[in-house]
Amino acid sequence: MSVVIKARGEFQKGFSVFLSGSVSGRDWRAALMERLNEHDIVFLDPRSDDYESIVGSDRFREQVDWEQDGLTNADVIAMYFNHDSVSPISLMEFGLFARSEKMVVYCAKEYKHKGYVDAICDRHKIEQVDSLEELAEYILTRYSKHKKE
């Protein structure tokens, strides 16, 4: 069974996937975790219900540090860009970790900055998928390789 660690939660050992990306629109994180629930995957979910209320506080800094540590230490960074969101923080994380060799990107065809995302993915050989199903399959492939090591 998978484990979900919410923002600012204590990290656990195991194959981990950081869920980075748009927060508007459908809850892609929940849908992805549901698809992969039967596997021993640690999901790092940065979504915080109190995000707006903590901006500028020590808890906000803890949130940012937690996210950066999670992105750095995750086995896979699953990045999603929804068509109806600009997602500036996700774009920043995308750029910061483009060379990490552990990112997979699902970018909606209608996303405003898709051309930029495509160019960076091409440049750094980042895997792109076209659906939530393909995102889940990619993660399962990486998970299977990890289990064999």
pLDDT at residue 70, rounded to an integer: 98
Give the integer Cα–Cα distance in Å for 25 and 70: 23
pLDDT at residue 51, rounded to an integer: 60
pLDDT at residue 56, rounded to an integer: 77
- Spans of all domains in the chain: 3-148
Retrieve residue 52's tokens.
């707006």
User: Looking at the domain 3-148, which fold is it?
Assistant: Rossmann fold (3.40.50)
pLDDT at residue 52, rounded to an integer: 59
CB count, 10 Å around CB of 64? 11
Residue 49 and residue 14 in contact, taking contact as beta carbons nearer than 8 Å: no
Q: What is the pTM of this model?
A: 0.94
Local confidence pLDDT in tens for the 149 residues of the chain: 999 999 999 999 999 999 999 888 779 999 999 999 999 999 999 987 766 566 778 888 898 999 999 999 999 999 999 999 889 999 999 999 999 999 999 999 999 999 999 999 999 999 999 999 999 999 999 999 998 87
H or E, element range at 59? helix 58-73
Residue 127 and residue 56 in contact, taking contact as beta carbons nearer than 8 Å: no
Tell me the torsion sign for CA atoms 80, 45, 41, 68: positive
Retrieve residue 116's tokens.
């930029």
